[in-house]
Amino acid sequence: MAHEEVKVLSTWLSMFGLRVLIALKHKGVQYEYKEEDLQNKSELLLQSNPVHKKIPVLIHNGKPVCESLIIVQYIDEAWPSSENTSILPKDPYDRANARFWADYIDKKLYDAGSRILRSAVAEEREQAKKDFVEVLETLDGAFLTFSKGGLYFGGDDIGLVDVALASFLCWFKCYETFGDFKIWESSKCSRLPKWAEDVLQHASVKEGMAIAHPDKIVELVQFYKKKLEAGSK
Ligand SMILES: N[C@@H](CCC(=O)N[C@@H](CS)C(=O)NCC(=O)O)C(=O)O
Ligand SMILES: *[C@@H]1O[C@H](CO)[C@@H](O)[C@H](O)[C@H]1NC(C)=O
Ligand SMILES: *[C@@H]1O[C@H](CO)[C@@H](O)[C@H](O)[C@H]1NC(C)=O
C-alpha cells in the first residue's frame, strides 16, 4: 500500500478521542498522536475542524474527519482489513441498531456523567447519578439481544457499541469519586459489569486506552474543581 499518513488530534483523557485510538489499534493502523491543549488549540485543529473546533480529529493523508463516531466508522471503511476486525456488523439492520445504541450513549451518558461532576446542588447531583445508572441499565438490557451469546456487544469481538461505551470506563472512577457512589452497586445491571471487565482486557481497548489512567483523570478533575471554586469566591 502507498505511504499513508494518519494523524490523530486529541487529548489523553477524552472519551471521544479514545474511541479513535481503540479503532485504529483494532485495525492495526499506525498513527501519529498529537496531544492538543484545549485552552490553546493548534492552528491545525482550528483548520481541520473549523465548525466545532473540537477534538478528536483524524487526518488521513491530509484530509480531516471529525466527530468520534463518524471517525470510527470511517476507519472501519477505510481499512477494511480482515473480516474479523470489522467494527460494524454486515447486516444492514444490525448496523442500524449498532448506530442507534452508539448514538444513545452520546445523547444520554455523557450528559448525565457531566452533571454528576458539575452540579453544585445536591438534588441535581442525585438526579444525575440516577440518570447515569438508568442509561447503563438500558444498555444492560440491550446487551443480551446484541451480543448473541458473545462477550461483547459486537458478539465474539468488539463492535461500534463496545468502542463507544468502553471509552467511558476510564471516567467511572471520577464519577464515583465526585458522585460519592459505586456505579455498578447502585444499578440493577446484570451483564454490564462483566462486559466492562472483559472489554478492558481486550487488546485493542487496552492499548487504545493506555494513555488514560483513571487516577490521573480524578486528579485533573479535582484540580479544575478547586480552581473553579477558588474563582467563584
Ligand atoms: N461529539 C463530539 C464531541 C467531542 C468533544 O466534546 N470534544 C471536547 C473534548 S472531550 C472538545 O474538544 N472540547 C473543546 C471545546 O469545546 O472547545 C465527538 O464525538 O467527537
Ligand atoms: C500556545 O501554543 C503555541 C504553539 O502551539 C505556543 O507557541 C504558545 O506558547 C502557547 N501559548 C500558551 C499561552 O500556552
Ligand atoms: C477469523 O475468525 C475465524 C473464526 O473465529 C478464524 O477461523 C479465522 O482464522 C479468522 N481470520 C483472521 C484473518 O483472523
Q: Is 232 part of any domain?
A: no
pLDDT at 1: 54
Number of H helices, E strands in the chain: 11, 4
C-alpha cell at 168: 467511558
Atom 4 in ligand 2: which residue has the minimum CA distance? 42
pLDDT at 51: 98
Q: Is 230 part of any domain?
A: no
Q: Are 215 and 159 in contact (CB under 8 A)?
A: no
Ligand 3 centre distance from Cα of residue 73 (Å): 21
Percent of the chain with pLDDT over 70: 97
85 pLDDT above the threshold of 90: no
User: Which residue ranges have their beta carbon within 6 Å of ligand 3?
Assistant: 82, 84
Distance between CA atoms of 75 and 50, rounded to whole angstroms?
21
Q: Which of 175, 98, 186, 181 has its CA nearest to residue 134?
A: 186
DSSP structural state of residue 174: H
The domain in which residue 131 lies consists of 89-221
Kindly report, residue by residue over 174-199, the tens digit of the pLDDT: 999 999 999 999 999 999 999 999 99
pLDDT at 15: 98
DSSP bridge pairs for 34: 9
Q: Is 93 part of any domain?
A: yes
Q: Are 146 and 102 in contact (CB under 8 A)?
A: no
At 38 the three-state DSSP class reads coil
Residue of 54, 103, 110 best suited for mutating to test ligand 1, as the one with most atoms within 8 Å of CB: 54
CATH code, domain carrying 33: 3.40.30.10
Distance between CA atoms of 145 and 208, rounded to whole angstroms?
27
Q: Is 228 part of any domain?
A: no
Q: How far is CA 18 from each of CA 8, 65, 148, rounded to the nearest angstrom?
A: 10, 15, 26
Mean pLDDT value of segment 19-23: 98
**Sign of the CA dihedral 205, 208, 209, 210?**
positive
Instruction: Tell me, using a 6 A CB cutoff, whether residue 38 lines ligand 1.
Output: yes
